[in-house]
Amino acid sequence: MDRTLELIKFAKEGDQDAKEQIVTSNLGLVWAVARRFLGRGHDLEDLYQIGCIGLMKCIDKFDLSYDVKFSTYAVPMISGEIKRFLRDDGIVKVSRTLKETAYKVKKMREEIVNRTGVEPKLEEISSLLQIDMEEIVASLEANVEVESIHKTIYENDGNAIYLIDKIVSEEDEKEEVINHMLIEELMRDLNDEERQLIQMRYYENKTQTEIANVIGVSQVQVSRMEKRILLKMRQQI
């Protein structure tokens, strides 16, 4: 039995040390998935912690009879846990400290402008408040009013592009990266011939006829092989 599967078996029997070993060996995977969700109003550390919760759920729910590697099973599970957290958490929340800092900066700016008629530099506000410029910038960015997802960000010839279009595009890119990780893992379980066919068909965009000429079989055989391989990969997911 694979070492990871053996540890999962022990973990399901209540062995906490085995569970910790599985978690430790998969922390890199959690970090990789968590990074894909940056820019949603939460620190990477927060996303990582949620991802770890997803990883532990994977250990509890993983069926040893599955014909799939644990890491392959874990990627969509970790991703789903983070997505649920982001969905349920609602509008981005700003910490009290950042709110207080932003308020102090705003009041100091107004005071300087009223007194001198000149817009103060960041360095001046930082010096007067004895607050690092990095903290000031962070507080101002965190307290920017949330934009409507239907705000027009570009318009040309009557065709508007809305903020939601950009968000969906970025979401698709992140989802594509995670899917790519999953596919790479699945391809490791294919034999050389199967891996070569998938490589040529989906990475090199070759037609079934072109592939048939390369590997020396008919186009019909390539079509059957492709269907069989895709079914095999789908069943592993």
- Domain positions in the chain are 96-142, 190-237
pLDDT greater than 80 at residue 57: yes
What is the pLDDT averaged over residues 47-68? Answer: 85
pLDDT greater than 80 at residue 91: no
With cut-offs at 50, 70 and 90, classify the pLDDT of residue 86.
confident
Q: Is the pTM of this model over 0.75?
A: no
3 state DSSP class of 36: coil
Q: Which of 50-54, 100-104, 114-118 has the lowest mean pLDDT?
A: 100-104
Rounded CA-CA distance 30/44 in Å is 11
CATH number of 190-237: 1.10.10
Q: Angle at Cα 49 formed by Cα 45 and Cα 174, nearest 5°?
A: 70
Domain 96-142 of CATH type 1.10.10: yes
Percent of the chain surpassing pLDDT 90: 0
Q: How many CA atoms lie within 13 A of 148 on its CB side?
A: 6
172-205 per-position pLDDT tens digit? 444 555 556 667 777 777 888 888 888 888 778 8
Check for a shared fold between 96-142 and 190-237. Answer: yes
Burial (0-12, 13-18, 19+ Cβ within 10 Å), 119: exposed
What is the pLDDT averaged over residues 24-34? Answer: 88
Torsion angles phi and psi, residue 75, rounded to 5: -55, -55
